[in-house]
């Protein structure tokens, strides 16, 4: 865990959040600035900056599994949803702790971007 990382603190309950799903390796909580009716962030409990940060295969599998759990729990598995991860400056990554945005609950349009 990184002491100055907000998502480390949320993922390890140093700071509480609105959790949607948790297991040993990952947790999912609501984004504080939702871009859609459902906007949940899925993060590893261990600190990894992006997807290219030597993330163990077990953790990657747990992240993808959690996306499915979030979609089912939020009732968007049939209506549809989008998963995005921002990595690095060109993607405008603000929080430097790997996270998957799970967006749904409205039509997201055909663009790859959420807006
Ligand atoms: P990005 O790094 O650009 O992929 O976006 C980070 C997202 O994290 C952004 O949508 C806002 C959200 N966020 C930032 N800080 C917090 C926080 O302390 N709590 C919650 N729930 N969401 C946060």
DSSP 84-97: E---SGGGT--S-S
Give domain limits for the chain.
Answer: 6-104
Task: Report the separation in Å between the CA atom of 32 and the middle of ligand 1, taken as the mean of its atom positions.
Answer: 6
Cβ(66)–Cβ(21) under 8 Å? yes
In the predicted model, is pLDDT for residue 111 greater than 90?
A: no
Closest residue by Cα to residue 41 from 75, 7, 90, 12: 7
Q: What is the pTM assigned to this prediction? A: 0.96
Mean pLDDT of the chain: 95
The pLDDT value recorded for residue 13 is 97
The residues annotated as belonging to the active site are 99
Q: Supply the residue whose CA is at minimum distance from atom 18 of ligand 1.
A: 6
* 6-104 is classed CATH 3.30.428.10: yes
Does the structure show a pLDDT above 60 at 114? no
């Amino acid at each position: 865990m990184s002491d100055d990382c907000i998502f480390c603190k949320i993922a390890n309950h140093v700071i509480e959040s609105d959790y949607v799903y948790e297991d040993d390796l990952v947790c999912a909580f609501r984004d504080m600035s939702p871009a859609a009716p459902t906007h949940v962030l899925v993060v590893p409990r261990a600190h990894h900056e992006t997807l290219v940060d030597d993330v163990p295969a077990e953790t990657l599998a747990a992240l993808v599994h959690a996306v499915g759990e979030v979609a089912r729990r939020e009732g968007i598995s049939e209506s549809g949803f989008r998963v995005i991860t921002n990595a690095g400056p060109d993607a405008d990554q603000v929080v430097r702790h790997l996270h998957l945005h799970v967006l749904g609950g409205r039509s997201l349009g055909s663009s790859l971007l959420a807006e």
